[in-house]
Amino acid sequence: MSLSFDIWPCFGHRATGTVLRETSDVTLDPALVAAAARRDSHHAHPDHIATLVQQTDTASHLIDGSFSGTTTILDAFHGAWLGVGVSDALDGELVCVDGVIWRVPDTGIPEVADPLATIPFAVAAARAPAELVTYETVPSGMNMSDLGELVGSETHQMIVLRIEGTFRDVVLRSEHRQTPPYRDLDAVLSTDEVRWHFAEWSGVMVGHQFPTAQDGVLIPGIHLHGISSDHLSGGHVREMTVIDAELSWAPADVEVTLSDDGEAVASLDNHQPDQKGMNG
Ligand SMILES: [Zn+2]
């Protein structure tokens, strides 16, 4: 199936220098087309702009055990300001904060990631244009699901977010490096997850909130990775409760690229009114 549709019609704001195609002919997986076609048009607005998020590979591939790195960190996080990901063979959780990419292996000690290392999955957001960003002070006592409701209740479907401050009851995780043949992610986490508990923790958490009905293309719900202010701890955020924190968030459009061929397979807008070509 060959479809034609507009990609990133409003990306004059994009922070990086990559030239984006106005129109692209791409071959799409029918399931991804279906997911993209269900984009929420409730907020349709002709002046739609959003932060570009580049996602390497699909959530379902990661969940099914596609842990072999095929895209370099340099490519996956090209121009990124914040983001999350995992290392080749699940050898560490990745967190991109203010353009610096950290890897948190099972030691729990973050290190600046090797830009030439390959990875299987990443969600990397360009720096949002200032006019798109909403800032708010997060009430003390908010946990992960409260935070999801806070940003989900009044925002578009897909957002990227950054929360910085002091937290309590923080649980971070990474996992042991895996060896092929890989088990699926649930099986890995059932035996090889490593967790760190912090009564109090200061630092930055970044990530996204994506909608639930995306058929495995996106990781649904709120998803955060963090790194502490002293750069001595970090990882995937399982739990946290806010003591005192500042939140910033922006609407996002997501381009999903399969890591094996670099081809764009899905383009999901927050509220682009036209769904050109999506009916095939
Ligand atoms: Zn994660």
What does the pLDDT read at residue 274? 34
* 134-138 vs 121-126, strand pairing mode: unpaired
**In angstroms, rounded to a whole number, what is the distance separating the alpha carbons of residues 246 and 48?**
26
Distance 223 CA to ligand 1 centre (A): 6
Distance 224 CA to ligand 1 centre (A): 6
Distance 269 CA to ligand 1 centre (A): 22
What does the pLDDT read at residue 265? 65
Please say whether the beta carbons of 255 and 55 come within 8 A. yes
Q: What are phi and psi of 122, to 5 degrees?
A: -160, 150
Distance 272 CA to ligand 1 centre (A): 28
What does the pLDDT read at residue 269? 76
pLDDT per residue, tens digit, the chain (280 aa), is: 222 222 222 222 222 222 222 223 333 344 443 344 333 333 444 466 789 999 999 999 999 999 999 899 999 999 999 999 999 999 999 999 999 999 999 999 999 999 999 999 999 999 999 999 999 999 999 999 999 888 876 555 799 999 999 999 999 999 999 999 999 999 999 999 999 999 999 999 999 999 876 678 999 899 999 999 999 999 999 999 999 999 999 999 999 998 555 556 677 777 543 333 222 2
Distance 222 CA to ligand 1 centre (A): 10
Distance 83 CA to ligand 1 centre (A): 10
Omega of the bond leading into 181 within 30 degrees of 0 (cis): yes
What does the pLDDT read at residue 49? 78
Distance 135 CA to ligand 1 centre (A): 23
How many distinct helices (H) and strands (E) make up the chain?
5, 16
CATH assignment of 2-268, given 3.90.180.10, 2.40.50.140, 3.40.50.2300, 3.30.1330.80? 3.30.1330.80
Distance 1 CA to ligand 1 centre (A): 33
Distance 249 CA to ligand 1 centre (A): 18
Distance 174 CA to ligand 1 centre (A): 9
Distance 130 CA to ligand 1 centre (A): 26
What does the pLDDT read at residue 159? 93
Residue type at 10?
A: C
Distance 85 CA to ligand 1 centre (A): 7
Distance 225 CA to ligand 1 centre (A): 6
Distance 263 CA to ligand 1 centre (A): 24
Distance 181 CA to ligand 1 centre (A): 22
| Protein residues with C-beta less than 5 angstroms from the ion ligand 1 | 236
Any idea where the domains of the chain sit in the sequence?
A: 2-268
Cα 115-87-248 angle, rounded to 5 deg: 80
Distance 102 CA to ligand 1 centre (A): 13
What does the pLDDT read at residue 173? 98
**In angstroms, rounded to a whole number, what is the distance separating the alpha carbons of residues 93 and 87?**
6
What does the pLDDT read at residue 1? 28
**In angstroms, rounded to a whole number, what is the distance separating the alpha carbons of residues 203 and 125?**
19
Distance 180 CA to ligand 1 centre (A): 21
Distance 6 CA to ligand 1 centre (A): 30
What does the pLDDT read at residue 26? 33
- Tally Cβ neighbours within 10 Å of residue 139: 11
